[in-house]
Amino acid sequence: MISVRGLRKTFDGTAVLNGIDLDIAPGERVVIIGPSGTGKSTLLRCLNFLDQPDAGHITIGDVTLDADRATRAEILALRRRSAFVFQNYALFANKTAKENIMEALVTVQGRPKAEAEARALDVLAETGLAEKADSYPASLSGGQQQRVGIGRAMAIGAELMLFDEPTSALDPEWVGEVLDLMRRVAARHQTMLIVTHEMQFAREIADRVIFMHGGKIVEEGSPEQLFGAPQDERLQRFLRRLSQ
Amino acid sequence: MRGLDLEYMLGLVPVILGYVPLTLGMAAAGMVLALILASLLAVERVFRLPWIDWAVVLFISFFRGTPLLVQLFLFYYGLPQVMSFLTSIDGVTAAIMGLTLHFSAYMAETIRAAILGVDRSQWEAAQSIGMTQLQMMRRIILPQAARVAAPTLVNYFIDMIKGTSLAFTLGVTEMMGAAQKEAAGSFLYFEAFLVVALIYWAMVELLSQGQKRLETYLNKAYAR
């Protein structure tokens, strides 16, 4: 169970998140859409404490924390309940594909190296990159790097996977393979919170779509509702612009 | 004008070479200690711990802002007058300590810049998987920073080798001291000091070759 209450974040006097309330059920796949600069990425980053929220409560599984008095230990615990997929992949440059996936398992979860390695090779096989196990990120294509990035998040076995515009930095030719992998992750009823501009993909895999505007959740519902019968005028405008 | 006494110089080469281990030993010991100290100082400068940050800033400022020779005299001849327990320190130890403190200040700045040069995404990825700051530094940030800093750090090692000649002023008979003693007997000062210069030059050239190889290796980094 994931729950967010009254989440606020201000950058240099500008409110980016204006009190976000959000519940996500186990196994639910939630996609956030909306114009640029409306706080979608900031919301994800705050859930992982990559940006420190100013106020609000966050619960992921058995960890609940109050943003304005979170201790370092609580922040670590929260981060270990979720896995983050970055727009720019953010693979560890000094580690091979396999080591990138093993890192969290060995260093953070304290699992034996052999077990972590076996898990990493399994995950690489699932992402279709078994033969790239010993390659460094610098020698992988953008699509391959992002698949390793997703693999790294999968291997952790986190309650929640956060995807921050995972295909936005990719050349068009690599978008398909990354979305395919995300479909496979979704098919396992992994709880996912995804920020994306791929509307077709959102329609296809989302249980629920959230439209954000001005740091707030303006409208949410099933893909059919949101894309088929949008209520809010700002959402209608946003969708109209996309279809042009 | 008189001609060079080449025969004398050739005879002197093995004598001076006998002191190369001492020179390299002092430089190596100073380098290892300075690397450790500089890494600690650099990490502190990156995280700016309250209470110690000002002291680290002061330390770096002092040791970069004063000549090595002055520092060595201050510690070897000056400090024992104030702190009597330091009287028992011999010249070699004092020279290593001086080199360590002096070069750690420079190296700390190099390492700090290399740490801050590691891409933001690397820090965030490490944080996102729930690493502690110590784990993040040790496993992700410092290894990448080391690659960037390595060529510059080798330069400091070269400087340090040359800096060991100042141990002569603390009464240590190293390459320079040995040459001085030899010349005092033969009066062939030019020949004696020329031999010292050539041996230093050769050592530094050898190291520069190693440095070039290191750079080639580092430029190929992480691309397999």
Assigned fold of A2-243: Rossmann fold (3.40.50)
Residue A96 sits at φ, ψ, to 5 deg, of: -70, 170
* Mean pLDDT computed over A95-121: 96
Q: What is the pLDDT of residues A49-83, one digit of tens each?
A: 999 999 999 999 999 999 989 999 999 999 999 99
Q: Give the number of other CB atoms < 10 A from CB of residue A61.
A: 17
- With the CA atoms of B213, B216, B217 and B219 taken in that order, what torsion angle do they form, in degrees rounded to the nearest 10? 150
CB contacts of A103 in chain B (<8 Å) are: 129, 139
Judged by CB atoms closer than 8 Å, whether chains meet at A49 and B127 is answered as yes
Buried b (16+ CB within 10 A) or exposed e, A94-107: bbbbbbbbbbbbbb
Q: Are B176 and B160 in contact (CB under 8 A)?
A: no
Q: List A57's β-bridge partners, or say none.
A: A5, A66
Which of B121, B128, B130 has the CB atom closest to A88's CB atom? B121
Rounded to the nearest 5 degrees, what angle is found at the Cα of B19, between the Cα atoms of B15 and B21?
135
Amino acid, single-letter form, for residue A23: D
Q: How far apart are the first and last CA of chain B?
A: 61
Amino acid, single-letter form, for residue A31: V
- In chain A, which among 9-68 make CB contacts under 8 A with chain B? 48-50
- Provide the shortest C-alpha distance from residue B126 to chain A (in Å): 8
Judged by CB atoms closer than 8 Å, whether chains meet at A79 and B129 is answered as yes
Residue of A nearest to B131 (CA): A108
pTM check: above 0.80: yes
- Provide the shortest C-alpha distance from residue A49 to chain B (in Å): 8
- Provide the shortest C-alpha distance from residue A90 to chain B (in Å): 5
Assigned fold of B22-172: MetI-like fold (1.10.3720)
* Mean pLDDT computed over A29-34: 96
Judged by CB atoms closer than 8 Å, whether chains meet at B144 and A104 is answered as no
Strand residues in B79-180 grouped as ranges (E): none
Judged by CB atoms closer than 8 Å, whether chains meet at A86 and B124 is answered as yes
Buried b (16+ CB within 10 A) or exposed e, B106-132: bbbbbbbbbbeebeebbbbbbbbbbbe
Judged by CB atoms closer than 8 Å, whether chains meet at B222 and A84 is answered as no
- Provide the shortest C-alpha distance from residue B143 to chain A (in Å): 7
Q: What is the pLDDT of residues A215-234, one digit of tens each?
A: 999 999 999 999 999 999 99
Confirm or reject contact between B138 and chain A (CB < 8 A).
no
> In whole numbers, what is the pLDDT of chain A averaged over residues?
94
Mutation test of the interface with chain A: which of B118, B128, B135, B224, choosing the one with the most A Cβ atoms within 10 A? B128
> pLDDT tens, position by position, for chain B (224 residues)?
778 888 888 889 999 999 999 999 999 999 999 999 999 999 999 999 888 999 999 999 999 999 999 999 998 988 888 887 777 788 999 999 999 999 999 999 999 999 999 999 999 999 999 999 999 999 999 999 988 999 999 999 999 999 999 999 999 999 999 999 988 888 888 888 999 999 999 999 999 999 988 888 877 767 65
CA–CA dist A7, A17 (Å, integer): 7
Residue listed under structure tokens 């990120």: A137
CB contacts of A134 in chain B (<8 Å) are: 224
The domain segmentation of chain B, as residue ranges, is 1-19+173-224, 22-172
